[in-house]
């Protein structure tokens, strides 16, 4: 060969048997005996066997990829049956021992049968190999086809002018790694991703699907903040932020204590009822700080559309999740303190009743599976601490009110407002007006003057505005004179800045003529003094009521008159008086609507005072409902009414005996100087109220 190697071609001619081995070197040499093949007669069976051998050999050659086509031609041209067997056996892909066994078999028929067996095995091996090869080739072809189609799809998207959404999809999938969520949310995310992958960014529904998936990822499905179980620390935080309000603070600490002992519990649904400006909403934020939770606030005032709470369906243009889900998405916590502000001011119209949607949200037995129309999944709200605020309990839907744990918040006494001003309002306004570095002295009497003469409220909002006015004046003086580093706020400065006092008690301190009595009323802004005026004129027994009175007050006046007419003998009144005279009852401040049963005893006292010409004792106020039998019934808002009487300079107050328990709850220091009379019947009221 050109490369110096030697190639030897060998061809087997006959079978032989080695008798003895003669040498190994320099070549093999042995004594052999040639073995001739004895070919049997070509009967039908043997001929069929040879034909089968030839046919199977051709099948193997045809199905083998490594056998050249010429081999089949050679096979067809072999006529010597013995050579045919040796040729086929030598090219079989089988073990050498099996080939040797064929050579050593003297019976030609038996050797042909063994060859057929080996051919059958070889044919099966070749067919299996081809099957595996075809399957592998098919999978490779499919991968190549998919790759080709994806490349074409990418090219089409590029031609349409839009960017591929692959980056956005991968970003969403990356955000989903390690996400804690429910199985339903995970399944919806997977379906959304599959849908997004099939869509082009320019299609109308693309943004809808993307925004929904984005919401699923942003929501805190099982993400909770750890509660602070230090009761003493929580109490200190609440006390530092808000003065008084012991009932609410105790309720929150009780909840925290149970949570600490039990480890898990359904959050209560609290509702703070009280006048404006007393700190209901800000107390919610303080509670969140005290127990270590996040804070979120949602104002319900003026809300008319139920979809604002439950969300809009995704099919609508501009659809959004409800405000509950939006708030949780923003705060990134499944157990925040959630303030539902102004729950008593929810509206309703043709778009639905939001109060009905709140029934599910605020029910501890149902809110673990709150359904949002946009989210299209149930969300667990049971760990959220919902706190509702309202000014009036009567304006809350009864079914909704039944789900709330009501905590009444009364207005502040003057002494409480002084402490709140010193600890919170004055420092806050100093900082707000850049006066932190200045020493500002405001004494308690000056603060009391601000409270009693320039404000008339249960809360402290107006007081804060008056303090802000004083601070602005001080800031102007500090800016004009750089040598000033301290200020003292006195009564003269207050009048210089705020003008003459807006409110005085002169009206209540003056002696009143017969027919005038002072009552106590409760409004959503707190307690108020209420004059009841009665005049008598000649007539035929008519009763006129003026002063923008509601139906309940009108009925109270009719009840009082009916009682008087039925007891003229006891009251020493001429029965004919009512046939010849008209009564006119008026309640001043006619522009302000008034209603309620608590003016009943005041109206009756004023009527009897006018008829008998006996004046009502000065500096005396009263409140209570009356019946036709002359009984005095308890009324609400006692603390606010008493504080209003205290502000007005009253000395004595007449109350129903059953309201004594409400007086006991008031700090004795706040009602010092007031004398209380507790009555059960109208006779006792008249004995206490009318002068001799």
- CA distances to 88, 107, 108, 115, 116 from 102, rounded to whole Å, are 11, 10, 9, 7, 11
C-alpha 618/C-alpha 509 separation (Å) is: 7
Burial 372-394 (b: 16+ CB within 10 A, else e): bbbbebebebbbbbbbbbbbebe
Query: Tokens 């040498």 sit at which residue?
Result: 23
Candidates 301, 307, 337, 334; CA nearest to 323 is: 307
Q: Using N-to-C axis directions, what is the helix angle for 44-63 and 81-90, rounded to 10°?
A: 30
Taken in order of first residue, the domains within the chain and their CATH numbers are 35-128 (1.20.58.1480), 166-218 (no CATH), 231-408 (3.40.50.300), 414-498 (1.10.8.60), 506-689 (3.30.230.10)
Query: Tokens 């046919």 sit at which residue?
Result: 55
pLDDT of residue 558: 93
Tell me the HSE value of 501 on the side-chain side, using a 13 A CA sphere: 14
Q: How is the chain split among helix, strand and coil, in percent rounded to 5?
A: 50, 15, 35
pLDDT of residue 507: 67
Rg (CA), the chain: 51
DSSP 394: G
C-alpha 414/C-alpha 151 separation (Å) is: 79
pLDDT of residue 158: 64
Catalytic pick from 294, 383, 617, 641? Answer: 641
Question: How are beta strands 543-546 and 581-586 bridged, if at all?
Answer: parallel
- Clarify whether 641 is annotated catalytic: yes
Candidates 605, 593, 594; CA nearest to 560 is: 605
In Å, the largest CA–CA distance within the chain is 168
pTM: 0.67
C-alpha 39/C-alpha 83 separation (Å) is: 11
Q: In degrees rounded to 5, what are phi and psi of residue 375?
A: -65, -35
- Clarify whether 458 is annotated catalytic: no
Burial 100-133 (b: 16+ CB within 10 A, else e): eebbebeebeebbebbeebbeebbeebeeeeeee
Query: What DSSP assignment string belongs to 487-555?
Result: EEE-HHHHHHHH-S-S--SHHHHSPPPTTEEEEEEEETTEEEEEEEEEEEEESSS-EEEESSB-HHHHH
Q: Using N-to-C axis directions, what is the helix angle for 491-498 and 444-454, rounded to 10°?
A: 30
pLDDT of residue 103: 80
pLDDT of residue 60: 81
Candidates 541, 545, 610; CA nearest to 577 is: 541
C-alpha 635/C-alpha 661 separation (Å) is: 12
Candidates 485, 484, 425; CA nearest to 450 is: 425
Candidates 457, 456, 441; CA nearest to 493 is: 441
Catalytic pick from 267, 333, 598, 609? Answer: 598
Q: How many CB atoms lie within 10 A of CB 75?
A: 16
C-alpha 367/C-alpha 111 separation (Å) is: 86
Q: Look at the chain and count its residues.
A: 692
Contact 348, 355 (CB under 8 A): yes
- CA distances to 391, 409, 520 from 281, rounded to whole Å, are 11, 12, 27
pLDDT of residue 164: 56
**Exposed (0-12), middle (13-18) or buried (19+): which is 647, by Cβ within 10 Å?**
buried
- Average pLDDT of each block of 10 consecutive residues along the chain (692 residues)? 73 80 85 81 81 84 74 76 80 81 81 84 83 75 72 65 68 83 86 82 81 88 84 86 82 82 76 86 87 90 84 84 90 90 82 80 84 89 89 85 86 86 91 89 91 86 92 90 85 90 75 91 80 92 90 93 91 88 90 87 94 92 94 91 86 94 87 92 93 83
Contacts of 340 by beta carbon, 8 Å cutoff, 6+ apart: 298, 300, 358, 362, 386, 387, 388, 389
Contact 425, 467 (CB under 8 A): yes
Contact 310, 373 (CB under 8 A): yes
Contact 417, 451 (CB under 8 A): yes
Q: How many CB atoms lie within 10 A of CB 65?
A: 8
For 215, the token pair is 């919401």
Candidates 271, 421, 396, 395; CA nearest to 339 is: 271
Angle at 402 between CA 401 and CA 405, to 5 degrees: 80
């Amino acid at each position: 060969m050109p490369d110096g190697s030697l190639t030897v071609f060998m061809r087997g001619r006959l079978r032989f048997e080695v008798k003895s081995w003669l040498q190994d070197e320099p070549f093999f040499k042995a004594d052999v005996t040639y073995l001739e093949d004895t070919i049997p007669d070509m009967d039908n069976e043997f001929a069929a066997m040879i034909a089968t051998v030839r046919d199977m050999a051709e099948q193997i050659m045809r199905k083998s990829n490594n056998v050249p086509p010429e081999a089949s031609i050679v096979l067809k041209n072999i006529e010597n049956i013995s050579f045919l067997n040796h040729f086929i056996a030598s090219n079989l892909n089988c073990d050498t021992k099996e080939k040797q066994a064929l050579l050593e078999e003297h019976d030609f028929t038996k050797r042909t049968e063994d060859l057929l067996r080996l051919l059958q095995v070889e044919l099966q091996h070749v067919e299996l190999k081809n099957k595996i090869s075809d399957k592998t080739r098919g999978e490779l072809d499919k991968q190549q086809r998919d790759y080709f189609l994806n490349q074409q799809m990418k090219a089409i998207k590029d031609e349409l002018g839009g960017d591929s959404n692959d980056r956005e999809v991968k970003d969403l999938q990356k955000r989903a790694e390690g996400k804690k969520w429910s199985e339903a949310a995970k399944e919806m995310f997977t379906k959304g991703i599959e849908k997004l992958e099939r869509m082009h960014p320019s299609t109308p529904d693309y943004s809808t699907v993307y925004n929904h998936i984005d919401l699923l990822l942003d929501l805190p499905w099982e993400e909770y903040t750890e509660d602070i179980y230090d009761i003493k620390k929580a109490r200190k935080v609440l006390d530092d932020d808000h003065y008084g309000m012991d009932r609410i603070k105790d309720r929150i600490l009780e909840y925290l204590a149970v949570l600490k002992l039990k480890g898990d519990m359904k959050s209560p649904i609290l509702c703070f009822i009280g006048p404006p400006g007393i700190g209901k909403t800000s107390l919610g934020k303080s509670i969140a700080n005290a127990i270590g939770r996040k804070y979120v606030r949602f104002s319900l005032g003026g809300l008319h559309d139920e979809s604002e709470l439950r969300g809009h369906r995704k099919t609508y243009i501009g659809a959004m999740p409800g405000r509950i889900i939006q708030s949780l998405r923003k705060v990134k916590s499944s157990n925040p303190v959630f303030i539902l502000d102004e729950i008593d001011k929810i509206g309703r119209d043709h778009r639905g009743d939001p109060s009905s949607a709140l029934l599910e949200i605020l029910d501890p037995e149902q809110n673990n599976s709150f359904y949002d129309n946009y989210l299209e999944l149930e969300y667990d709200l049971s760990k959220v601490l919902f706190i509702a605020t309202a000014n009036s309990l009567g304006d809350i839907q009864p079914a909704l009110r039944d789900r709330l744990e009501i905590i009444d918040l009364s207005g502040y006494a003057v002494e409480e407002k002084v402490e709140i001003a010193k600890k919170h309002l004055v420092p806050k306004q100093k900082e707000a007006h850049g006066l932190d570095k200045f020493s500002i002295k405001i004494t308690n009497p000056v603060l009391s003057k601000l409270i009693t003469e320039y404000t008339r409220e249960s809360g402290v909002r107006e007081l804060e505005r008056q303090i802000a006015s004083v601070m602005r004046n001080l800031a102007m003086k500090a800016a004009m004179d750089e040598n000033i580093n301290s200020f003292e706020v006195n009564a003269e400065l207050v009048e210089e800045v705020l003008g003459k006092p807006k409110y005085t008690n002169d009206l209540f301190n003056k002696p009143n003529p017969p027919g005038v009595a002072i009552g106590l009323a409760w409004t959503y802004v707190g307690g108020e003094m209420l004059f009841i005026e009665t005049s008598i004129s000649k007539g035929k027994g008519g009763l006129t009521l003026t002063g923008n009175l509601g139906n309940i007050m009108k009925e109270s006046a009719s009840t009082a008159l009916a009682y008087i007419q039925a007891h003229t003998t006891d009251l020493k009144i001429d029965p004919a008086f009512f046939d010849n005279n008209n009564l006119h009852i008026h309640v001043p401040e006619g522009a302000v609507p008034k209603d309620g049963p608590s003016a009943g005893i005041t109206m009756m006292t004023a009527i009897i005072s006018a008829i008998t010409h006996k004046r009502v004792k000065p500096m005396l106020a009263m409140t209570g409902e009356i019946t036709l039998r002359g009984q005095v019934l308890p009324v609400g808002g006692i603390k606010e009414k008493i504080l209003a009487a205290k502000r007005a300079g009253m000395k004595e107050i007449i109350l129903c005996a059953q309201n004594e328990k409400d007086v006991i709850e008031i700090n004795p220091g706040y009602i010092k100087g007031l004398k209380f009379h507790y009555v059960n019947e109208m006779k006792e009221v008249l004995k206490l109220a009318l002068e001799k």
